[in-house]
Amino acid sequence: MTVRLVVSDVDGTLVDKQKVLTEGTIAAVRRLDAAGIGFTIISARPMSGLKPIADALALDVPIAAFNGGIVFHRDGRIESHVTIPSEVATAVLEAAKGQAVDIWVFADDRWYATSDQGTHVEHERVASNQAPIVTTDFAALIDHADKITFVSDDEALLRALHGKVEHLDDGATIAQSQTYYLDVTALAANKGDGIAALAKAFDVPMDVIAAIGDQANDLPMLKRAGVAIAMGNAPDGVKAAAHHVVAGNDADGVAEAIDTLILNPTGVAA
């Protein structure tokens, strides 16, 4: 099977642990382009956080933010956009009351947060390419929120909170994008539907797409792609769902996938 499109997750996959695109990865994406194979990205990040990546890679193609909740182009054109139903947003925020979690709400390509302090905030400043607007009043955002994230280093607490809101999963996608993030997005804003939206935008069938990811929220797209590739830093459950496992994101795993699985799948030197 010939791969015609590569779809990559960003954090933990395309960028290294410092959230930087390495020269090796940039060069590998350029080799894909030279071979006539498409490349794009899908991420839980907002549009603002994906635009620098798109600029660095010169991606003038559809890109998926919020796990596919928004499909857009780097010039700002939006192809599709879905948001969290207001009743779901209200319910999950109510469930988090009294919990030792920070709350982030993304709407209108802005990031609103209950705190602007902490390691995760500093990482999100880089990932979102913006500073948070500090607030505890999200009422004006309820009817058009793209993503709500509960943040805590207490993974057991987040799992318990997930259990409190999982009955809402028929109206939203609720998943941990990292052990310290519990994300709520629109029902269609998951990477399974997201990669399907990208396939439609690129006009290619799913079986000629290679998907690369590292976390549980990548599983829906890994299960639907023709070629599923997990990063070496992925949990065992994600690796088990993939056809191939490559090096970690601090060892140019995406470049390895491009060069050894996409451009030279036979392993025979050119």
User: Is residue 237 within a helix (H) or strand (E), and if so which, with residue range?
Assistant: helix 236-240
pLDDT of res. 199: 96
Q: Amino acid identity of 172? A: A
pLDDT of res. 267: 58
Is there a contact between 69 and 189 (Cβ–Cβ < 8 Å)? yes
The per-residue pLDDT for range 68-119, each reduced to its tens digit, is 999 999 999 999 999 999 999 999 999 999 999 999 999 999 999 999 999 9
pTM of the model as a whole = 0.89
Is there a contact between 57 and 45 (Cβ–Cβ < 8 Å)? no
Token pair 């607007």 in the structure block, residue = 133
Is there a contact between 148 and 89 (Cβ–Cβ < 8 Å)? yes
Is there a contact between 128 and 159 (Cβ–Cβ < 8 Å)? no
d(CA 160, CA 93): 14
- Given a cut of 70, whether residue 269 has pLDDT beyond it is no
Averaged pLDDT of the chain: 95
Is there a contact between 95 and 87 (Cβ–Cβ < 8 Å)? no
pLDDT of res. 104: 98
d(CA 114, CA 133): 8
- Given a cut of 90, whether residue 175 has pLDDT beyond it is no
pLDDT category, 266, cuts 50, 70, 90? low
pLDDT of res. 1: 63
The per-residue pLDDT for range 207-220, each reduced to its tens digit, is 999 999 999 899 99
d(CA 186, CA 195): 15
d(CA 25, CA 245): 17
Can you list the domains of the chain with their CATH numbers? 5-81+189-262 (3.40.50.1000), 86-186 (3.30.1240.10)
Given phi > 0 = left and psi -120 to 50 = alpha, else beta, which region is 269? beta
